[in-house]
Structure 1
């Protein structure tokens, strides 16, 4: 463990090493994780999907807008928390960083936050088990890329679920009768 690793994150660095040494060592995994990273940056991929949904499914345009609002709102909440907590990204020489990031702040993962919010809302809209399909790969990708600790992605996912719940309550309260 280097001096840049706080003792409380030593176990998390070991998890990152294990993920990068197993999952991350498989051919194509880092490239796929980078693609997911670019898709999830600032929740833009989720906003694009919501926009397409709103165009092709005008009957449920409000719900598609809710997907965009939920993803962007979750992302915004994660940024506020990042600025309060100010946890630095993994900075251990044993952790390979495989993608650039817009900030040095790590907690919570904004990708995990917006992806979970979008997956919950899209799952509700489509009737598909999208949280189970979309969330784990995004969380794992952040570890493969070496830009988040495991607790960053878990907290981000919890925040995303809470953000989606807020959107669903608002839709129920203010939706068309």
Structure 2
């Protein structure tokens, strides 16, 4: 599923004769970057979130760790990891169908490498939304949900996604979390009955 490509930093000077001011979602991205990207810690934090969420690896790792240290709720933790991975896979499939290119306006700074040129939806936002919802279910706390806005905003700060990429990713991730949760609820009684009769 991985497409080997690294986004190039924008080093070419603007051609003022052909330059068009950013509009629509490009203008939103420029505003976000000008507004907060220069603040202390914002870019390093956004890059850290990007590396953590790449291919949903951070969420899967966290779920596996939770399953190890909290065996009483092992199924819930593993469900969260599975949901994050399925959400990422769903985002990759949608990307390859839609084939929207990543932001490329010269006024937008690209502040991190990416594994592909495709933008819609944000796989980071998708897997993070799914993971957060399922981790909230696993832990019985809403605290995991607090990571969704920073992850979503980080994709704009880094200049690798449009706002609609991120919003759609959150919606898709929530749908995947709901589906995975329903499937897990149906599987658990069957697993319990097998353990009882064993």
Q: Report the secondary structure of 2:126's partner residue.
A: helix
Q: Report what 1:37 is aligned to.
A: 50
Deviation of 1:132 (Å): 3.8
**What does the per-residue CA deviation read over 1:96-127, in whole Å, with 9 as the maximum and x for residues that have no partner?**
00000000000000000000000000011112
Q: 2:63 aligns with which of 19, 43, 50?
A: 50
Contact 2:133 2:145 in 1 (8 A): no
* Cα distance change, pair 92–81 in 1 and its aligned pair in 2 (3 A): same
Cα distance in 2 between the residues matched to 1:50 and 1:14: 37
Alpha-carbon contact 2:67-2:77 (below 8 Å) kept: yes
Shift, 1:10, TM fit:
2.8
**Contact 1:120–1:130 (CA<8 Å) still a contact in 2?**
no
Q: Say which of 167, 172, 194 aligns to 1:154.
A: 167
- Asked if 1:134 corresponds to 2:139, the answer is no
Flag the structure with larger Rg: 2
Instruction: State the Cα distance separating 1:130 from its structure 2 match.
Output: 3.3
**Which structure 2 residue ranges, 5 or more long, are not aligned?**
1-14, 193-198
Query: Following TM superposition, by how much is the alpha carbon of 1:4 offset from its aligned partner in structure 2, in angstroms?
Result: 9.8
1:109 pairs with 2:122: yes
1:64 and 1:124 map into 2 onto residues whose CA distance is 9
> TM-score if structure 2 supplies the norm length?
0.83
Quick check: 1:13–1:95 contact (8 Å CA) kept in 2? yes
Partner of 1:170: 183
Please report the TM-score for the alignment, with normalisation by the length of structure 1: 0.93
Compared with structure 1, are the counterparts of its residues 37 and 11 closer, same or farther at alpha carbon in structure 2 (3 Å cutoff)? Answer: same
More helix by share: 1
Is the contact made by 2:59 and 2:81 (CA closer than 8 Å) also made in structure 1? yes
- CA contact under 8 A between 1:112 and 1:160: conserved in structure 2? yes
Over the aligned positions, Cα root-mean-square deviation in angstroms equals: 1.9
2:23 match: secondary structure = helix
Contact 2:136 2:145 in 1 (8 A): no
| Superposed displacement of residue 131, structure 1 | 5.2
Equivalent residue, structure 1, for 2:96: 83
Aligned length: 174
